[in-house]
Amino acid sequence: MTLLNAPSLRLAGLCLLCSSAGPAWAQVQTDPGGPYLGGNVGWLRAGDLNRDAINQALQMQSLAVRTTSVDDRATGWKLFAGYRFDRHWAVEGGYTFLGRYGFQGQVIADPGTVQASFRADDWNAFAVGILPLGDRFEIFGKAGAGLWRTRLQASGTFSGRGAQSADASGASPIAGLGVRLQFTQAFSARLEWERFLHIGDAASSGRSDIDFGSLGLQYRF
Give the number of other CB atoms < 10 A from CB of residue 171.
12
Burial call 211-220: b when 16+ CB within 10 Å, e when fewer: bbebebebeb
pLDDT at 19: 46
The CA-atom distances, in angstroms, between 138 and each of 41, 130, 147 are: 20, 7, 28
16-42: average pLDDT: 66
Based on the number of CB atoms within 10 Å of its own CB, is 69 exposed (0-12), middle (13-18) or buried (19 or more)? Answer: exposed
> Which band of pLDDT confidence, cut at 50, 70 and 90, is reported for residue 32?
low
Classify 22 as helix, strand or coil.
helix
Mean pLDDT score of the chain: 85
Classify 55 as helix, strand or coil.
helix
pLDDT at 91: 98
20-28: average pLDDT: 47
Q: What is the pLDDT of residues 39-81, one digit of tens each?
A: 999 999 998 887 778 888 888 877 788 888 889 999 999 999 9
Q: Tell me: pLDDT of 119 over 50.
A: yes
Please, what is the Cα angle at 177 between 25 and 183, to 5 degrees?
Answer: 15
Q: Tell me: pLDDT of 22 over 50.
A: no
112-128: average pLDDT: 93
81-91: average pLDDT: 95
Q: What is the pLDDT of residues 169-208, one digit of tens each?
A: 999 999 999 999 999 989 999 999 999 999 999 888 889 9
Instruction: Give me the CATH code for the 34-220 domain, please.
Output: 2.40.160.20
pLDDT at 135: 83
Q: What is the pLDDT of residues 143-160, one digit of tens each?
A: 999 999 999 998 877 666
pLDDT at 164: 75
Q: Tell me: pLDDT of 33 over 90.
A: no
156-166: average pLDDT: 72
